[in-house]
Amino acid sequence: MFLGDIVGQSGRDAVIERLPDMIEQQNIDFVVINGENAAGGFGITEKIYDDLRDAGADAITLGNHSWDQKEALVFIEREDRLLRPVNYPDGTPGRGANLITGRNGAHVLVINVMGRIFMDPLDDPFAAIERELAACPLGDVASAILIDMHCETTSEKQAMGHFADGRASMVVGTHTHVPTSDHRILDGGTAFITDAGMCGDFNSVIGMDKEEPLRRFTTKIGAKRFEPARGEATICGVVVETDDKTGLATDIWPLRIGGQLEPVLPAFWS
């Protein structure tokens, strides 16, 4: 199961409260969450990381807000399940990929990568993914491979899906916070969705309280920092089933629970 960007306390509380039961009741083997907006909408702290891990997250990915909480530059060095984009320059603290053992004993390669269109000019994300896939092939070293493609444009996310098709179990887009309805299995057997959405309050502007974004759009004047909306959060993400032999996807289901959006549950959900 992959859950989209957690935005602020509303999203954190919803995930921490519901994730343990989801894992137990639905027999989820492995959980990845994007946590780059978890601390007040900007970055992640060690306490939040620990809380998400205690709730059942096997890995937590980041993105362009990786270092907004400066403590992350330190504790990411000792937390090998907290992943920043793999295409950051050499010497950046932390790691962008890791092979992690799931609850069922399977080895899952999780890769966090960031796109470049309308984003910071990092190293080539496609070359970075090529290196990681070559070093840890699906069905050989890795039982499953999950790629979190954190970027602005739908075209770059979809291009990464096709680039990794047949070589990864799933490619999930993050960053834009709005769930797309194009979940599918690509020709080569890789599950894909352009954006998993967010875990946050959708009565907002992409998770932020509406007042300040509206002021900036209408007047071009910023009066204060963005603050996450505090209403009931919707948990958004996807659930993917993979073949034990090949590691490729056999099914993908969208997931939306609570809050403003219409609920959507996987077909097998009890």
Look up 65 and say whether it is catalytic. Answer: yes
Phi, psi of 150 (to 5 degrees): -100, 105
Which H or E run includes 13? helix 8-26
Per-residue pLDDT tens digits for 40-78: 999 999 999 999 999 999 999 999 999 999 999 999 999
Per-residue pLDDT tens digits for 191-244: 999 999 999 999 999 999 999 999 999 999 988 889 999 999 999 999 999 999
- 142-157 average pLDDT score: 97
Does residue 166 have a pLDDT over 90? yes
Q: Which of 65, 150, 175, 177 is catalytic?
A: 65
Q: What is the pLDDT of residue 235?
A: 98
Go through the domains of the chain in sequence order and give each one's CATH number. Answer: 2-257 (3.60.21.10)
Which H or E run includes 136? none
Q: What is the pLDDT of residue 270?
A: 76
DSSP class per residue in 52-78: HHHHT-SEEE--TTTTSSTTHHHHTTT
Rounded CA separation 237/30 (Å): 13
Q: What is the pLDDT of residue 14?
A: 97
